[in-house]
Chain A
Amino acid sequence: MRRDARWWIGRVVAGVLLGGLLLWLPQSYPAFRVNQFSLVITYAIAALGLNLLTGFNGQISVGHGAFFGVGAYTVVILVADHGWPHFAALAMAMLLTFVLGLVVGLPALRIHGLYLALVTLALATVFPQIVVRFRDLTGGTQGKRIPRAEEFVAPGWTGLANDQWRYYVLLAFAVVAFVAVRNLIHSRAGRAIIAIRDNETAAVTLGVPHRAYKVLVFGVSAMLAGMAGGLAKFYDPFVSSGQYTINLSIILLVAVVVGGTARILGPAIGAFLVVFIPIWLPEQYPQLSGVFFGASLIVLMMLAPGGILGLGTKLRLWASGQWRSRRPGPTSLEPGAVASES
């Protein structure tokens, strides 16, 4: 695709504006709001991992909340009980969830679509019970806390409040993760990952080592979820078994689908919405957001499988009259849309 100067200028301006906004946010909001933004960042990283697996590789997981939980518990236990520094504990959490992802991904080679969803859903259901079973280590339903003296705080030279520092550190991790996944998708490996999703048999015929890719993608995806869970314990030092239920797994799935599957920035938009929609909805109906999320999964799958970013692309193509020329597939040729613009 040929890209002219205008396209590049637009890109750079949008990037600078977005970057400026993200850097400016913690300066102008109170600490509790900044912590909510930090939560958005962790969900965005976890959803990025899930999107790599589900959106780009076509392997569904309803169990990423469990990987998120493993990452969180690893950081809290290593910091609180063994005195590890936060970053070392985070590295350990990533390593652990990567290996765990490989272990869950291995059966995924033989288990397709529906059954993989089944296994991961069972994993998400079992995880809180495993936490309770090993309550000596995890604190069980009572939970476990990083002691105040060990919490992750801003170094003196920054002059930042703790919540601001934590936000910036999380943001830095998120930027690295998003750029890394973007580059991965645009590489030879990324094309192989997408080819496996679109037609596994054809990909194998063309010599793509699909087994290695599928297992590795599962590992990397779980690692991103584990990293997000670990990072969440940088600003919120408490874990308990009730935090990492199936609902977290489903909410991560909602974030991917709402933002747009197989879109790099989709998870970020989705994560923002799944964090802030419950905050915006009236407080007297705490179940309302759950009903809303469940219904939105159903409605989006029927009407706009591409999510919000997919809608944006459709609109842009429609507005610029390129619908027919850029999307020649029979599925996207909607006579009504084409006729109305001519």
Chain B
Amino acid sequence: MDLALFFQRLVDGLGQGAIYASLALALVLIYRATGLINFAQGEMALFSTFVAWMFWDSGWSAGAAVMASMVLSFVGGAVIERLVIRPVGDVHTHALPIVIVTIGLLLALNELAGWIWGSEGRTFPRLFGTGAFTVGGVSMSYQTVGVLAVLAAEVGLLFLLLQKTKLGLAMRAVTSNAESSRLVGIRFGRVLMFGWGLAAAVGALAGSLYASQLATLDRAIMLQLLVYAFAAATLGGFDSPVGAVVGGLVVGVVTVMAGGYVSWIGDDLKLGAAFMLILVVLLVRPQGLFGKQQVERV
């Protein structure tokens, strides 16, 4: 077995996986805050990435463009929670309507992006340049290193936010017991809006990283990213941020390895491998690797 090739694929897989982990983090943030899987997360990221592209296209630096899009996405996410999601009702009693609403959002955002920015592919800037350096025969692109560094920083900041601030404490309180959190005076609605905004901003970053990896942006790409992120969050457990990161990296490595070593899968069925992973995890360990088991009360 060619070891250098193996390590090359491992590095590539981690680079891909960091992006999956990033979007999976957005899914997990919303799931923890509201108990809901946001099917529109990928298309929200698509919209944000187009906004970043617009800033970049008008002459901003790529980094500033992504930052600006994250700020706008935060506002957009909070607005979506308030105007679209909350009026439908509580997810525990209205699961089906809320799923349908987020799927409506998926379709509407995708088509709206196509309407505003067209369906043809756009060149998206490489956020970390195109260079690479070699370590022991394995080529590490700046892109891969940059994406992993961004993920590490993101996880660090989220950890500080959730564990060390009053706001983070409020978010965790809402997650663990919505009713009691209200009784102790937490502004429940505000926290939900903040959670959605945060998820939208994290998703915006994931979308920009993904488009930058592909060096192109069109409105078909985020659906695939969403399925990879689903696989990551399912594997790690939908209520666990650590799980999302580990799950994302594992999904990245597994799909790259499967595509590389199993010629039957190849490039075409990488997404199929992620789908099989989702099925197997849900059948064998529905709560994921790091998730808490849901106890059903009657």
Contacts and interface: CB of A to CB of B under 8 A. Distances in A.
A253 B105 contact: no
B96 A290 contact: no
Contact of B278 (A62, A119, A129, A201): A119
B100 A121 contact: no
A113 B112 contact: no
A305 B286 contact: no
Contacts of A111: 282, 286
Contact of B266 (A133, A250, A253): A133
Contacts of B33: none
Q: Counting chain B CB atoms within 10 Å of each CB, which of A129, A291, A298 scores highest?
A: A298
Nearest to A290: B111
A236 B286 CA distance: 42
A91 B224 CA distance: 33
Interface in A231-269: 246-247, 250, 253-254, 257
A98 B77 CA distance: 40
B120 interface: no
Contacts of B272: 126, 129-130, 133
A235 to B, nearest CB: 26
Contact of A301 (B97, B106, B278, B282): B97
B106 A294 contact: yes
Contacts of B230: 118, 121-122
A288 interface: yes
B104 A294 contact: yes
B170 interface: no
A60 B112 contact: no
Contacts of A213: none
Contacts of B286: 110-111, 115
B103 A62 contact: yes
B138 interface: no
A253 B100 contact: yes
Nearest to A293: B107
Nearest to B84: A298
B112 A287 contact: yes
A132 interface: yes
Interface string A117-137: 111011101100110110000
B227 A298 contact: no
A121 B95 CA distance: 16
A105 to B, nearest CB: 12
B271 A125 contact: yes
Contacts of A291: 107-108, 111-112, 115
Interface in A51-77: 54, 58, 60, 62
Contacts, number: 133
Nearest to B223: A125
Contact of A122 (B103, B105, B115, B275): B275
B38 to A, nearest CB: 10
B283 interface: yes
Interface string B226-244: 1100110010000000000
Contacts of A253: 100, 103
Contacts of B109: 294
A9 interface: no
A298 B105 contact: yes
B116 to A, nearest CB: 9
A285 B114 CA distance: 10
Nearest to A115: B282
Contacts of B131: none
A132 B268 contact: yes
A110 B282 CA distance: 8
B90 to A, nearest CB: 13
A295 interface: yes
Nearest to B279: A107
Contacts of A149: none
Nearest to A121: B39
Interface in B201-257: 223-224, 226-227, 230-231, 234
A246 B223 contact: yes
A85 to B, nearest CB: 32
Given A301-B100, A301-B104, A294 B278 contact: no
B4 interface: no
A114 interface: yes
B115 A117 contact: no
Contacts of B108: 290-291, 293-295, 297-298
A296 interface: yes
Interface in A197-213: 201
Contacts of B278: 118-119, 122
A25 to B, nearest CB: 29
Given A117-B103, A118-B278, A288-B115, 10 more contacts: A107-B279, A114-B37, A115-B37, A123-B275, A125-B227, A133-B269, A290-B111, A295-B104, A298-B101, A302-B101
11 contacts: A60-B96, A114-B36, A117-B103, A118-B39, A125-B223, A125-B224, A250-B106, A253-B100, A294-B104, A297-B100, A301-B104
